[in-house]
Amino acid sequence: MNQDILLIGKAVIKAAIKVETGLRIGGSSTGVKIGGVDQPVISDPFGKPYIPGSSLKGKLRSLIERKENVAFNSEGKHFCQSADEYEKCPICKIWGIMGDKIKETSTLTRIIVRDTFLDESSITEEMRRNLDLQWTEIKVETAIDRSTGTALSGSLRQLERVPAGAKFSPLEIIYSCYEEADKQLMKKVFEAMELLEHDYLGGMGSRGYGKVKFENFEIYWNTREHYESGKINTNSVGKFDTVSSIVQNFETIWEKLK
């Protein structure tokens, strides 16, 4: 990639994240009192749970890396180490790479994932009656000694979770295009979201936590001219109910970006 390459445009992807099984993205346990929650979820300054953009972006990258069968180093990480590798790698082009890893080319990150905050209206009155805290539930867990079938001493803990049925909205992903090929490359983002729906977000996924679903998509395409005229998010690419419908119709979407 040349240093003088210009921005072609930005796709703005908006959606909602529905929690289908209890979601736990851990927060700080500073100041936990006796009788309090041992392991709280991360929360915003108003005490409401949210989904950090870093957690979502990292999980999407991890899943698509395994789908694309990229090479990992001894630390279990993947990043390209030469310009030739980078030009052929959709992962590093989209999700980014540390600037000091490749000296001979620019390595511009294509994707930005914003923090996504709780839609308060998704916590219904019926749900509230069954919650332990204002926005979340408490799940008590313990470890079992397999040889005796009894609980291990000292293993009882209280975990805070976002309840099933909660929604986080609006999710906002910004995808920047610097080359025409970047438009077609954007499909990998939606493939990663499909993979996440069949995996988990946050911690303790093997115990059933963290199943999520993406829904209510809106996609806009903003060129340089849109930013110059102030008419951003006026060029709608379409609305979609599910991420799989985007993947299925991506060729049509791609045509609208030309």
Per-residue pLDDT tens for 1-60? 445 678 999 999 999 999 999 999 987 655 444 445 678 999 999 999 999 999 999 999
Q: What pLDDT was estimated at residue 103? A: 59
CA distance 123 to 117: 13
Q: Which pTM does this prediction carry?
A: 0.89
Q: What pLDDT was estimated at residue 161? A: 95
Q: What pLDDT was estimated at residue 34? A: 42
CA distance 65 to 23: 23
Report pLDDT digits (tens) over 138-159: 998 766 767 776 666 666 788 8
Among 161, 160, 144, 163, which Cα is nearest to 152's?
Answer: 144
Q: What pLDDT was estimated at residue 79? A: 78
Lowest mean pLDDT among 20-29, 94-103, 117-126, 177-186: 94-103
Average pLDDT, integer, range 187-194: 98
Q: What pLDDT was estimated at residue 104? A: 60
Give the tokens for residue 209. Answer: 């936590």
Q: How confident is the model at residue 195 (pLDDT cuts 50, 70, 90)?
A: very high
Tell me if 204 sits within 8 A of 26, measured CB to CB.
Answer: no
Q: What pLDDT was estimated at residue 101? A: 60
Q: What pLDDT was estimated at residue 1? A: 46
Lowest mean pLDDT among 81-85, 179-183, 229-233: 81-85
In the chain the first and final C-alpha atoms are separated, in Å, by 20
SS3 151: strand
What's the Rg (C-alpha) of the chain? 21
